Chains A and B, each alone.
Chain A
Amino acid sequence: MIWVGAGLLILVAVTGFGVVRTRDVTGQVIAISFYGVLMSLVFFFFQAPDVALSQITVGAVALPLMIMLAISRMKYRTVRMRKRERDA
């Protein structure tokens, strides 16, 4: 049983490195969503159901949502400025 936990921890280490090395920001949001689901599996293995419930809702839904809202707001502003320069 502890080998399952060890395997999950190695997987978390590899995924964390993968999230950091993703340079494109929109792709990184998907990567951190997957990382959040994987962390909730690790919490489930560590016999922590409360924390796993928090991590599923926050790490896979709310955190990527906040990041995507920020990215879309910056993109919206860039598109708007460019259109205004073209029309002017």
Chain B
Amino acid sequence: MPHLLHLLPYLVAAWLFFCGLYGLVSSRHLVHSVICLAILQSSTYILLLGIGYRVGGVAPIFADIAPGTVTVDPVVQALMLTDVVVEAVVVALLLAMVVKAHEKSGTVSPDELRTLRG
């Protein structure tokens, strides 16, 4: 049975994923469900960084250390850097749709929005 510490980031990523999904499923306010989507997205950050981590490795910035020192994986960090900024703008787009839905129908509850007809 592998040690729990060896699996901790994978388990925390799965726990955050299911927390976000539970929030989406049981949400009564559209803005609450958009914020739970942001929690879902942050679970992938934990998973990616957990894969790239190396005990005893340093940050992959060679401004003051000699090139050739043992570092953590820089490729997953490059993947996540753009994703963090793009997430905020995509949340802004989703919230624009929520604002428009509130304008047209006067309600922000997803259950009520399902039964309204145009």
* Chain A residues close to B by CB (< 8 Å): 2, 6, 9-10, 12-13, 16-17, 19-20, 23, 25, 28-29, 32, 35, 39, 42-43, 46-51, 54-55, 58-59, 62-63, 66-67, 69-71, 73-74, 77
Q: Give A49 Cβ to nearest chain B Cβ, in Å.
A: 5
Total interface residues in chain B, CB < 8 Å: 51
A5 vs B8: C-alpha distance when bound (angstroms): 10
In the complex, B84 has a CB within 8 A of chain A:
yes
Task: Specify which chain B residues have a CB less than 8 angstroms from the CB of A28 in the assembled complex.
Answer: 31-32, 35
> In the complex, what distance in Å separates the CA atom of A84 from the CA atom of B52?
57
Inter-subunit contact A54/B19 (CB<8 Å) = no
Nearest-CB distance from B82 to chain A (Å)? 8
Q: A12-B12, A67-B31, A70-B96 are in contact. Are A20 and B39 (CB under 8 A)?
A: yes
